[in-house]
């Protein structure tokens, strides 16, 4: 496994190099749903009943070139257009991603998604200027959120539904509105991030 480091918000994101690495990432996504690691049979069984996990299953496998690469790319692209989950294989995504519903998530391929992040339906992480946002660890992104251009979302932040984020969000903050502003809410940092996948030491600062 290789790792991408962003020192601005202190995150380390894994980049798979082989199918063993892909399996580790799939296990982390499974853990976020079930609260435990699963074997290959259990993970594929979940993929058959959960469209978002099915998408992540093939998304992870499409990131490396090997015996399954062409089929994985085909399945990834097929599911991408079926559910409107526009997330390219080249997007850097950490351990334990959760997508709450299989509809309308658009992420620019230059975005960086940290570990144990929750994405909700009808959300966009976009850019017109080649560089999209960097999302920290344990971040909750509510439904219909737009994160625009190269902003940095600190770890354990919570972004409320319908927010338009155009500026950096500090770690542990809760932001809502258009444009998004920090509020004093009774929400502890990372409250909505359940079943956090235990990160390996390489991903810990």
pTM of the entire predicted model: 0.93
Q: In angstroms, what CA-CA distances link 116 with 84, 135, 197?
A: 22, 11, 7
Please state, in angstroms and rounded to a whole number, the distance separating the CA atoms of residues 95 and 114. 7
Residue 197 lies in a domain: no
**CATH classification of the domain holding 99:** 2.160.10.10
Residue 74 lies in domain: 2-190
The 8-class DSSP code of residue 169 comes to B
Let me know if residue 198 belongs to a domain.
no
> Residue holding tokens 């993970």?
43
- pLDDT tens digits for 65-107? 989 999 999 999 999 999 999 999 999 999 999 998 888 999 9
- CA 165 to chain CA mean position, Å: 17
DSSP one-letter code for 198: P
Instruction: Tell me, yes or no, whether 48 lies in a domain.
Output: yes
Counting the structural domains of the chain, the total is 1
- Answer whether residue 205 is part of any domain: no
Sequential pLDDT tens for the chain (205 residues):
999 999 989 999 999 999 999 999 999 999 999 999 899 899 989 999 999 999 999 999 999 998 999 999 999 999 999 999 999 999 999 999 999 888 899 999 999 999 999 999 999 999 988 899 999 999 999 999 999 999 999 999 999 999 999 999 999 999 999 999 998 877 777 788 999 999 999 988 7
CB neighbourhood size of 170 (10 A):
15
């Amino acid at each position: 496994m290789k790792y991408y480091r962003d020192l601005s918000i202190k995150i380390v994101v894994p980049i798979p190099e082989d199918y063993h690495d892909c399996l580790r990432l799939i296990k982390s996504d499974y853990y976020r749903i079930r609260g435990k690691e699963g074997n290959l049979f259990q993970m594929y069984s979940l993929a058959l009943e959960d469209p978002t996990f099915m998408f992540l299953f093939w998304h992870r496998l499409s990131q490396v070139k090997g015996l399954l690469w062409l089929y994985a790319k085909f399945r990834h692209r097929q599911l991408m257009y079926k559910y409107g989950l526009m997330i390219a294989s080249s997007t850097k995504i950490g351990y334990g991603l959760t997508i709450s519903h299989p509809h309308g998530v658009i992420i620019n391929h230059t975005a960086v998604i940290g570990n144990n992040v929750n994405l909700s339906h009808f959300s966009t992480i976009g850019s017109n200027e080649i560089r999209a946002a960097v999302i920290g660890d344990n971040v909750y992104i509510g439904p219909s959120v737009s994160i625009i251009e190269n902003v940095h979302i600190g770890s354990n932040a919570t972004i409320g539904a319908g927010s338009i984020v155009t500026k950096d969000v500090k770690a542990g903050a809760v932001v809502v509105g258009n444009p998004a502003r920090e509020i004093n809410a009774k929400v502890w940092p990372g409250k909505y991030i359940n079943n956090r996948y235990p990160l390996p030491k390489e991903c810990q600062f």
